[in-house]
Amino acid sequence: MHLVRDALPEARGRAALKVVCVGNPWRCDDAAGLEVARRLHGTLPAGVELLEREGEPTALIDAWDGATVLWLVDAVSSGSEPGTIHRLDASSRELPTELFRGSTHHVGLAEAVELARALGRLPAQTVVYGIEGGSFEVGNELTPAVAAVIDRVAEAVREEVVECTSKR
């Protein structure tokens, strides 16, 4: 299990914070984001909105509308070892589409983020956690490598949210 991480965003002023977890519960590891949401439920600071979505781009963009700080969590398929955790700051640079290739969502998360950026609807601070999947076949169980990192990703997101809210 490897963590690929870049810098934590700095909160500016009073921010509307949202965590959006993406996934398909019927495609094995594609449900990783939804499992992270289940771990986060009831554990985030007051005022932080936690949402689950299946990944349709316009629904995602609408979900994070009004946020100034956003965390996205989704399964990815880049060819890295299953269970690898990728953390990317999408605030000022494009997400690498090769990390989000092969999405079971019709259009990948990277394309939704870039569409939102082009439309001026991407929150000023956007962090994406990608959990490297091993299987995206039909099924409702995570592979062991992905299941093993769900708590770690949930805790990392929770820590960032708490840090961000403490600076407000």
User: Is 1 part of any domain?
Assistant: no
Domain extent, residue 99, equals: 15-166
> Per the structure, how many domains does the chain have?
1
Backbone angles phi, psi at 147, to 5 degrees: -60, -35
CATH code of the domain covering residue 155: 3.40.50.1450
User: Is 54 part of any domain?
Assistant: yes
Position 30 pLDDT exceeds 50: yes
User: Is 62 part of any domain?
Assistant: yes
State what percent of residues in the chain have pLDDT above 70.
85
Q: pLDDT, tens digit, for every residue of 92-151?
A: 888 877 776 545 545 678 888 999 999 999 999 999 999 999 999 999 999 999 999 999
User: Is 3 part of any domain?
Assistant: no
Residues 90, 76: Cα–Cα separation, whole Å: 15
Longest CA span, the chain: 44
pTM confidence score: 0.86
User: Is 9 part of any domain?
Assistant: no
User: Is 40 part of any domain?
Assistant: yes
Q: pLDDT, tens digit, for every residue of 50-68?
A: 999 988 888 899 999 999 9
User: Is 132 part of any domain?
Assistant: yes
User: Is 140 part of any domain?
Assistant: yes
